[in-house]
Amino acid sequence: MNIQRIENLIKYMLAVAGQDEDWKRCELGPIHIIKYLYLADMYYAQQSDGDTYTGINWIFYHFGPWNLELYREAIPKATKNIGAIKRTFPSKYTNDGVRWSIKNVSPDQVTTHLPIKIYPALSRDIRKFNADTYDLLHHVYSTPPMTNARPGEKLQFRSIVPSSKEDTVETNLNKLTVREKKKKKERLLKIREKIAQRKKKKKTIVPTPPRYDEVFFNGVMELNNDLSLEEIEDQKGVLQVSQSAWSGNWRKDCDLP
C-alpha cells in the first residue's frame, strides 16, 4: 500500500469535490473516498496490465471493495497529512459520521502528481456522483472486478477490459485547444436545437381517459364475485441462496437496478 499515492489521490478527490456549487456535496466521507480509490486503481489497471496504482489489497466485503487497514489507518493518516478539514456529526450508522473537505487547492495543482491514466476518468466520476452514496455504490458494484468476484475473495484487476470509448473521448477532449472546444460546443448546441425543434413538431397524442360509470363498477363487482380466491396465509422460514448465484451473468448487466 503506497501511502504517498493515496494521499495525492485523496487530495485530488477533495479538490474536485470542493468545486461543486452545492456545499453539501463539497465534502467526502470514508465510504466515498474508499470507492473513489478503488475506481482510481481500476482505471490505472485498465492500461497497466492489471497492476493497481495504490497497491491496496482489495477484498469483496459485504457488497463492495474494501480494505480494513485503509479504512482504519491510511485514510485518517492521509487526510491529516494533506491538511484536510474534518467535520464530525451524529450518525445512526456509526458512533460519529465523518466528512472531509479541503480549501484553497485546485485539481490542477494535484494532477502533476497523478498519472493521466487515472485523473480524467476519476474526475468525471467525482463530478457525476460526488457524495451521492447510492449512485456511487451502484456504479462501483457493477464494475468488472466486482462482478467477477464472490464475497470474501480478493478482487482481480488483470481481467479488466481496456478502457471504454467514453474514457478515451474525455482524454481527447482535454487535449483540445480553447478554440476547438468552443467550436465543438457550438456544434453540440446546434444539434440540440434541431432535436428540440423536431420534438415540437411531433403531435402529442392525448389518450382517452377511462369512464368510471355504473357499467364499469358493475363489471368489476361481477369479476370479483366470479373469483373464489383463498386468502394467503403468512409464512415464516429461511431463504437459502446458492453461492453459485454470484457467478451468474446477471451480475454483469450494468442496467440492473
The DSSP string of the chain is --HHHHHHHHHHHHHHHTT-SSGGGS-B-HHHHHHHHHHHHHHHHHTTTT--SS----EEETTEEE-HHIIIIIHHHHHHHTTPEEEEE--SSSSSEEEEE-SS--HHHHHTTS-TTTHHHHHHHHHHHTT-HHHHHHHHHTSHHHHT--TTSBP--TTPPPPPHHHHHHHHHHHS-HHHHHHHHHHHHHHHHHHHHHHHHSPPP-PPPP--SHHHHHHHHHHHHH--PPPPPP--------GGGGGSGGGG-TT--
Distance CA 14, CA 145 (A): 25
Task: Kindly tell me the burial class for residue 249, based on how many C-beta atoms sit within 10 Å of its own C-beta (0-12, 13-18, 19 or more).
Answer: exposed
pLDDT mean for each 10 residues of the chain (257 residues):
95 93 83 96 93 96 92 95 92 78 92 92 94 92 91 88 52 65 79 75 72 84 70 82 73 57
Give the per-residue pLDDT at 33.
96
Is the pTM value of this prediction over 0.85?
Answer: no
**Residue 60: phi, psi to the nearest 5?**
-75, 100
The C-alpha atoms of residue 196 and residue 256 are separated, in whole angstroms, by 30
Nearest to 17 by CA among 123, 167, 88: 123
Cell of 245: 448465484
Cα(13)–Cα(6) distance, integer angstroms: 10
- At 137 the pLDDT is 93
**Which cell numbers hold the place of 131?**
457524495
pLDDT of residue 218: 84
pLDDT value for 52: 95
Q: Among 52, 34, 56, 55, which residue's Cα sits nearest to residue 43?
A: 52
